[in-house]
């Protein structure tokens, strides 16, 4: 699921945009969660607390405070996210390009323009999407949302970052053939773990970023230890 933030002081506009985004993502077999903040300070505070944001819709003007200054501050602090700038005037378009926006939209927003933005966004993120063919149909989600897979009695169970789970009949071998190379590692005969979610690597178990504990097979320890994403998180 993609996390989207709308930073705009017009609550009615933000509500309408949120509904349009949810519908448009759904039409593309994707999902999003939209959060609204009425001013840049609240948005920055949320981001600095670690709130995830994949796509930010940023109004350029906020009374006397220009939203473009906020956008520049985001880049100065190294917050790497896709940014869509919105304004009722072309006046700030040139300044906006300094913050490397994904797009610059003129208000009132036209639906076809928004559709173009979403197509561009999803195309950029396609390499980060996981697509699995199962007996129940296709399962699609951002790779970062998949914590680990557990396989038992010919049943594959997917554990997601948000705590949700889904399962279908399948085998570990079939699953491994569908997973992108270098992103998941077998840590046990029944477990495949997302490398980016390994927090602590131990001899007989590992801890994930969610706090979940997963058993570590003795014969798999060396392979996991040498995986680039896990190497620096082993026990000293």
Name all domains of the chain by residue range, CATH numbers in brackets: 2-127 (3.40.50.2300), 135-231 (2.40.50.1020)
| Residue-level pLDDT at 159 | 95
Q: What share of the chain in percent tops pLDDT 90?
A: 22
Beta pairing class for 82-87 and 55-59: parallel
Confidence band of 155 (pLDDT split at 50, 70, 90): very high
Pick from 40-44, 103-107, 220-224 the range whose average pLDDT is largest. 40-44
Res 90: pLDDT: 66
* Average pLDDT score, the chain: 82
96-106 pLDDT, tens digit per residue, is 556 677 788 87
């Amino acid at each position: 699921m993609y996390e989207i933030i709308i930073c705009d002081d017009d609550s009615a506009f933000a509500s309408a945009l949120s509904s349009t985004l949810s519908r448009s993502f759904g039409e593309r077999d994707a999902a999003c969660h939209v959060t609204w903040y009425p001013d840049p300070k609240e948005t920055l505070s949320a981001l600095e607390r670690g709130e995830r944001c994949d796509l930010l819709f940023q109004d350029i003007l906020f009374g006397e405070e220009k939203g473009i200054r906020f956008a520049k501050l985001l880049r100065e602090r190294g917050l790497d996210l896709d940014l869509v700038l919105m304004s009722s005037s072309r006046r700030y378009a040139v300044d906006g390009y300094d913050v490397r926006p994904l797009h610059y939209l003129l208000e009132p927003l036209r639906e076809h323009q928004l559709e173009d933005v979403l197509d561009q966004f999803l195309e950029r993120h396609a390499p980060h999407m996981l697509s699995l063919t199962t007996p129940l149909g296709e399962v699609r989600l951002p790779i970062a949302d998949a914590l680990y897979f557990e396989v038992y009695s010919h049943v594959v169970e997917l554990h997601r970052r948000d705590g949700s789970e889904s399962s279908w009949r399948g085998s570990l071998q079939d699953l491994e053939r569908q997973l992108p190379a270098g992103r998941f590692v077998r840590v046990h005969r029944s477990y495949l773990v997302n490398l980016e979610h390994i927090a602590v690597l131990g001899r007989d178990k590992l801890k994930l970023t969610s706090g979940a504990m997963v058993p570590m097979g003795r014969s798999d320890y060396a392979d996991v230890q040498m995986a680039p994403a896990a190497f620096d998180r082993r026990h000293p």
